[in-house]
Amino acid sequence: MPRSQYDYIIIGSGIAGLNTALLARENGSTLILTKGQVDDCNTRYAQGGIAAAIGTGDTPNLHMQDTLSAGAGLCNREAVEVLTNEGPQRIANLIRWGVPFDTSHGEISLGMEGAHSRPRILHAGGDATGQHIELALVSRVAESDIDVLDYTLATGIVVENGRAVAVDTLNCETGVQETFRGSHIVVGTGGAGQLFKYTTNPEVATGDGVALAFRAGARVMDMEFYQFHPTALRLKCAPTFLLSEAMRGEGAVLRDKYGRAFMSDYHPLADLAPRDVVSRAIATEMEKTDSESVFLDVSHLPSEVIQSRFPTIYHFCLDRGIDITREPAPVAPAAHYMMGGIQIDTWGRTSVPGLYACGEAACSAVHGANRLASNSLLDTLVFARRLVDCSLGQAPEDNPLDDESMLLRRLPERSPVCATMPSPSIENLQDLCWRNVGINRNGSRLLLTARILNLWQRMMPAPDDRASWELSNMVLLARLMVESALVRQESRGSHFRQDFPETRPEWEKHVALIQEEV
């Protein structure tokens, strides 16, 4: 039976939550809250791998330079130094915990991915990296004394005298509401891909943790930056399925419907260009040729290489009538990763004492305006360790979240929409965000969307079950994303405004939002 008081309460059961819990339990009683089952998360779907400078000829400094370059001027350099310097040690921890990284001739195999200057991507099971990590962590949690509450949705973070002290919960199966008190509250709930009609994320990725923290008074930052993975399988009557960046690292070529390789028209790195460039290029080619997709071609590679390197992708496509060893697969961009989130320092602290965050729900600006491929899993590992160290008093007392170049704004109220508009629902929200807050944006559509979302928030009844809580959280997240995108009057990284298509040096600053007056 769970207790009512814990040293650590972890919200979320992906790699961020599980890893934090395993580290925390060495220092106190620990509870994991997860709205689904403990292994239902984004992590298990991560195909690309983990980036770390462990190879011959590679260094943390080279990894840092690649990360800074991809981040388009908005990376927190201190956070990037922490990530790249501490990354190899975190990989060593995973190996000790039993993650079976792929090897060749007794050495860990290292792959190449877009915007990396060296092969530094570790994989497990070819393209099943996330699943192997998740299984290793879940197994260790099951063998520990960590309490886990499945099907338990966090509905509120209780703040007393300016400090986070407890979590309100709802049992999604029984409807029972409970409150659990904790000395340290950690949000590790992952991303919010379900905001969009097309996403590589599972159904649980509804941005709950960011909404929880924002309502509790925490700042959110960089919400305008959402990464769209360029190559998701696009087939009618088939789920959106990620075709890993590593395929292009191995030599896959993007072609239009006439078979022409087009990426050299857009970037010197061609098919290995940064993700935002590739996504926009694909969107442009689809519009030019009036197509529903472009095509990812690996048929020129040896069949045995494709099947051994990408077994999950190969069999998924084959089951749907596409043999990627013989023919190209239809692909199009899909929402993939949230660079913004709950603002944290390099020790995982938010602007609310006692409240921490890590993983995709958090934003230390380590990814800047555009995440470097395969840095996300490393991010969760590195900053989870520092978060626990911080809780033990090993961090400086000051929490330097303020930056003189930061734009701090209160979430504004918008006038209601007069025209006929759709009612609030998951489907309508996903369609609205895909059309107006997706790969290409402009001010008029963003403003209209902000007004619709504001009205939806006012008219929605108080949530009372998992579905209504998720919709409430997603509408709030969409508002945060839209308002941040309206503030940033330029194009940078994954944020592209058709009415402000240039990157402007005066916008080399972060946009932060808060619920209270500033």
Q: What burial letters (b/e) apply to 269-295, b meaning 16+ CB within 10 Å?
A: ebbbbbbbbbbbbbbebbeeeebebbb
Is the distance from CB of 324 to CB of 306 less than 8 angstroms?
A: yes
Amino acid making up residue 236: K
Distance CA 354, CA 405 (A): 26
- What is the SS3 string spanning 373-429? CCCHHHHHHHHHHHHHHHHCCCCCCCCCCCCCCCEEEECCCCCCCCCCCCCCCHHHH
- SS3 state of residue 218: coil
Q: φ and ψ at 283, to 5 degrees?
A: -60, -40
Structure tokens of 11? 């919200």
Question: Which residue of the set 120, 219, 275, 349 is catalytic?
Answer: 275
Check residue 517 and report its DSSP letter. Answer: -
Per-residue DSSP letters for 105-116? TTEE--B--TT-
- Residue 241's alpha-carbon distances to 15, 189, 232, 233, 236, in angstroms, are 20, 21, 5, 5, 12
> Is 234 known to be catalytic?
no
DSSP code string of 19-67 = HHHHHHTTTS-EEEE-SS-TT-SSGGG--S-EE---STT--HHHHHHHH
Catalytic residues: 275
